[in-house]
Chain A
């Protein structure tokens, strides 16, 4: 793997010249009418950007992505405050179908393939919302097979019987078949061997550069995500506690300690207390 783009180009994710493609403004999400999970989350993803959304278990990453793609309804979740814009248009009351047509699609965590469909059928379901004809769809099928040659080999296999890595490729490929402008990618690294994870992230990078797809990437694998993302947000307890250019986040002492698992030896005890206090401040 070559040097990641984030560490070489030190520019912030949001260019002043371009309006952000996705703008999440201070949203609040409540489950079951009583459980307040997101307490005012704001973030931006520029056109053509890769932005990481980081945080520990239960921080609210998945909830944020589902709020954007409007998949919360099925889980009795509701966006009760704030607004979401995509390409300058309010999208917070739109159905997932509307959003996919506008180019925003989510890849859910946990590799939700259609188990009884073949890999190729899975990919084709991704083109459900398109109306640009069979030729264009088959063309994109080839494009997906180009990025994931392994899927081509397994095209007639029932998806439920393919490996975890193949299933992750399958769900990303399926999303690609909708011709997305932005993919909300939820924990692609979950349960995969490190080598596979790197392969997936490399493909994300290529898709970003070659197909112009933007990514909002929810990850617990902070190290990997910050290598590929240009900008990152750190969520804790339903709030953004820190954000910045990926390179800057990687240098941040708190991120190093709490998310990258690197702590400077020597003055450890002193740092521990200091950071603990800082962490407390985030949580407040």
Chain B
């Protein structure tokens, strides 16, 4: 009886009794969730457009952040370092197309998957070789003054981060729906043979998609790096993207976004209100449990695209 009470009643009583604290927990969860969403988004874009499960997405986040910090350490102003990093991520997309995709295009999916594992080691090694492997602080000059709204403590940087995530997603949505290239990307994701037949060059599309994934990774890297420094553990954020993908579906952009937020908020709440019951640190595996439970009921994910039956 006491156990039932501890698991199913007490946590909710806590939430209700100190709702301001609860709101702060949720907000912290949303912010982490935004980062998960962005990483998952990178996965989904690449998976949709080229059928490749990109194991190296997490390392791309690290690599982008390392490049940004490295350029700034060499004296580049923030804006220049940002442009430089974007260019590096685009160059990376070209290299990936040239070295991997083009050559492996007709191979089994598992071969491509393994090549992205290789890529993650190459990128990590390259990043640390060029920029060093010590922990670096990332300060892009956004103030992080705390302030209060209705008793809830907020932080300027967090707001800025969440807003940039939202803007990025909005820009991508417009890009996918209203531009020629965006339409072509969706066409390739639907039926790459048919896309080829109307003259859409798959290689160009792959380069664009990997570039976009690199830039999404950069934004995630900035958010995370500014909070906890740029270091190897940044690439482990990808481990959190996996449950997000299971939750949201591997091919759904809205799924990646909503899934990221659910996992972000869910694991924070679980950690704070149920964590003590397990002796803490459930944040690390809670997402997987949530995803597995979910998998049992909706294997195609939250918004996993319905497979349209041809009549």
Shortest Cβ gap from A10 to chain B (Å): 35
Shortest Cβ gap from B195 to chain A (Å): 7
Q: How far is the CA of A52 from the CA of B152 in the complex (A)?
A: 74
Chain B stretch 260-311: residues in CB contact (< 8 A) with chain A: 305, 308, 310-311
Q: Which residue of B lies closest to A116 (CB)?
A: B190
> In this assembly, does B227 line the interface, its C-beta being within 8 Å of a C-beta of chain A?
no
- Knowing A74-B106, A96-B199, the reply to whether A125 touches B187 (Cβ < 8 A) is yes
Q: Are A128 and B197 in contact, with the CB atoms below 8 A?
A: no
Shortest Cβ gap from A162 to chain B (Å): 10
> In this assembly, does B186 line the interface, its C-beta being within 8 Å of a C-beta of chain A?
yes
Q: Are B193 and A74 in contact, with the CB atoms below 8 A?
A: yes
Chain B stretch 186-232: residues in CB contact (< 8 A) with chain A: 186-187, 189-201
Shortest Cβ gap from B166 to chain A (Å): 24
Chain A stretch 81-104: residues in CB contact (< 8 A) with chain B: 95-97, 99-101
Q: Are A126 and B198 in contact, with the CB atoms below 8 A?
A: yes
With beta carbons under 8 angstroms apart, the residue of B193, B195, B305, B308 that contacts A125 is B195
Shortest Cβ gap from A264 to chain B (Å): 40
- How many A-B residue contacts, CB cutoff 8 Å? 85
> In this assembly, does B184 line the interface, its C-beta being within 8 Å of a C-beta of chain A?
yes
> In this assembly, does A164 line the interface, its C-beta being within 8 Å of a C-beta of chain B?
yes
With beta carbons under 8 angstroms apart, the residue of A112, A116, A117 that contacts B197 is A112
- Give A49-61 as 1s and 0s: 1 = Cβ < 8 Å from B's Cβ atoms: 0000000000000
Shortest Cβ gap from A279 to chain B (Å): 34
Q: Are A115 and B197 in contact, with the CB atoms below 8 A?
A: no
Residues of B within 8 A of A174 (CB): 198
Q: Are A129 and B199 in contact, with the CB atoms below 8 A?
A: yes
Q: Are B201 and A112 in contact, with the CB atoms below 8 A?
A: no
> In this assembly, does A69 line the interface, its C-beta being within 8 Å of a C-beta of chain B?
yes
Q: Which residue of A lies closest to B192 (CB)?
A: A74
Most buried by B among A122, A125, A174: A125
Residues of A within 8 A of B191 (CB): 112-115
The interface of chain B, by Cβ under 8 A from chain A, is: 106, 180, 183-184, 186-187, 189-201, 305, 308, 310-311
Size of the A side of the interface (Cβ < 8 Å), in residues, is: 38
Q: Are A97 and B200 in contact, with the CB atoms below 8 A?
A: yes
- Give A97-141 as 1s and 0s: 1 = Cβ < 8 Å from B's Cβ atoms: 101110001111000111111000110111111000000000000
- Knowing A101-B199, A129-B199, the reply to whether A117 touches B190 (Cβ < 8 A) is yes
Q: Which residue of B lies closest to A124 (CB)?
A: B183
Shortest Cβ gap from B101 to chain A (Å): 13
Q: How far is the CA of A158 from the CA of B307 in the complex (A)?
A: 13
Q: Are B194 and A105 in contact, with the CB atoms below 8 A?
A: no
- Knowing A95-B201, A125-B187, the reply to whether A76 touches B106 (Cβ < 8 A) is yes
Show 20 A/B contacts (Cβ-Cβ < 8 Å), sorted by A: A95-B201, A96-B199, A97-B199, A97-B201, A105-B197, A105-B199, A114-B186, A116-B305, A117-B186, A121-B183, A124-B180, A125-B183, A125-B187, A125-B200, A128-B180, A128-B199, A128-B200, A160-B310, A164-B311, A178-B199
Shortest Cβ gap from A138 to chain B (Å): 13
- Knowing A105-B199, A129-B199, A163-B311, the reply to whether A117 touches B183 (Cβ < 8 A) is yes
Q: Are B190 and A178 in contact, with the CB atoms below 8 A?
A: no
Residues of B within 8 A of A117 (CB): 183, 186-187, 190
Q: Are A115 and B308 in contact, with the CB atoms below 8 A?
A: yes
Residues of B within 8 A of A105 (CB): 197-199
